[in-house]
């Protein structure tokens, strides 16, 4: 049984950048539904028992039944993506990262500001529902990509990328407060991204 990560902050703690009702709905309804649907699908796939979610998502082709494969892709992706997203948000966010990640950002993008610009442009350009990502490749290099729906970088690039930061641009992530203004949400989200959590994921990847 997969379980949602426990939040280290209250639903209202990310105000005014992310509002309380959005957090309640996003974590309590959307993320909960992805998790429940994933667990239900896995009951029909005993061969996957005990596997990590990363392993399952990197090997979706191992699921023979096309309908079950799609269910695991969408809901397993939703489960993994939201665990990552909620984990890297924090009321103490917005401070630049330290250490190896800071050095790699400078090497790959010139500055944190330039990386944020690239992530923002990538997130803004997602048509419909999807995600923008910062991932680490096997050489340690940082890569910015986007995915549709609940796909993620574990499913692309031959499973070579490890996502360390994800920005949800489904409307459910921002519509209650920002309506159709995704650009306004993207300005605010970076004020609650905990770059030290991202740095920790970079080191562990």
- Given the rule CB under 5 A, which residues bind Mn ion? 168, 170, 173
Of residues 45 and 193, the one with the C-beta less far from Mn ion:
193
User: Cβ 123 to Mn ion, closest distance in Å?
Assistant: 13
Of residues 26 and 201, the one with the C-beta less far from Mn ion:
26
User: Cβ 46 to Mn ion, closest distance in Å?
Assistant: 29
- Contacting residues for 145 by C-beta, under 8 A, at least 6 apart: 122, 132, 133, 135, 153, 156, 157, 161
User: Cβ 34 to Mn ion, closest distance in Å?
Assistant: 8
State the Cα–Cα distance between residues 109 and 56, nearest whole angstrom.
32
> Which residue sits closest to Mn ion, CB atoms considered?
168
Of residues 34 and 195, the one with the C-beta less far from Mn ion:
34
- Contacting residues for 75 by C-beta, under 8 A, at least 6 apart: 33, 34, 35, 37, 38, 41, 150
Of residues 87 and 168, the one with the C-beta less far from Mn ion:
168
Q: Which residue has the tokens 């499913």?
A: 155
Residues in the chain, total: 205
User: Cβ 166 to Mn ion, closest distance in Å?
Assistant: 10
State the Cα–Cα distance between residues 23 and 54, nearest whole angstrom.
25
């Amino acid at each position: 049984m997969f379980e949602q990560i426990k939040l280290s902050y209250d639903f209202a703690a990310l105000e005014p950048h992310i509002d309380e009702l959005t957090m309640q709905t996003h974590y309590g309804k959307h993320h909960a539904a992805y998790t429940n649907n994933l667990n239900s699908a896995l009951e029909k796939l005993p061969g996957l028992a005990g596997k990590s979610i990363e392993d399952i998502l990197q090997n979706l082709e191992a699921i023979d039944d096309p309908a079950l494969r799609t269910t695991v892709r969408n809901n397993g992706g939703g489960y993994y993506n939201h665990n990552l997203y909620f984990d890297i948000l924090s009321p103490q966010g917005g401070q630049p990262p330290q250490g190896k990640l800071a050095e790699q950002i400078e090497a790959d993008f010139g500055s944190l500001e330039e990386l944020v610009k690239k992530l923002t442009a990538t997130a803004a350009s997602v048509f419909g529902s999807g995600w923008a990502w910062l991932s680490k490749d096997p050489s340690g290099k940082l890569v910015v990509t986007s995915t549709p729906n609940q796909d993620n970088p574990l499913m692309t690039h031959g499973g070579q990328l490890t996502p360390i930061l994800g920005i949800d641009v489904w409307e459910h992530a921002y519509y209650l407060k920002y309506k159709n203004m995704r650009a306004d949400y993207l300005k605010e989200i970076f004020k609650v991204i905990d770059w030290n959590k991202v740095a920790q994921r970079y080191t562990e990847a």
